[in-house]
Amino acid sequence: MLALAALYGIVRDMNTTKTYRIPPRFYLDHIARGCGETGKIVHSTKNYLIVELDDQALDDLLSDALYYIECADTFDPPLTGLISSARATVKKIGE
């Protein structure tokens, strides 16, 4: 997982909780599917969420997002928006 995160320019400190401003679509889908640790939504708007993620929640979210990005060609066209949101989530976490 860390190697994949490094490919996307994501550098992490271990044993920390950080706040991230991310797009809502992929994160809300991630929560709805019950994909492990989800962190805490601190603030939300139509265009973004501010979430607190500890190491485990960040790992789960990145793993899920990277899976969607890497398998994008195998999904049906209706998932295009979700895949775009997964890409934007990884980009925002890497900033």
Whole-angstrom distance, CA of residue 57 vs CA of residue 7: 19
pLDDT for the residue numbered 7: 52
Taking a C-beta distance cutoff of 8 angstroms, is the pair 17, 53 a contact? yes
pLDDT for the residue numbered 1: 47
pTM value?
0.80
7-33 pLDDT, tens per residue? 555 655 566 788 999 999 999 999 998
CA nearest 18: which of 46, 48, 47, 50? 50
CA 90 → CA 47, 62, 84, distances in Å? Answer: 16, 7, 10
46-82 pLDDT, tens per residue? 999 999 998 889 889 999 999 988 888 787 777 888 9
Taking a C-beta distance cutoff of 8 angstroms, is the pair 64, 5 a contact? no
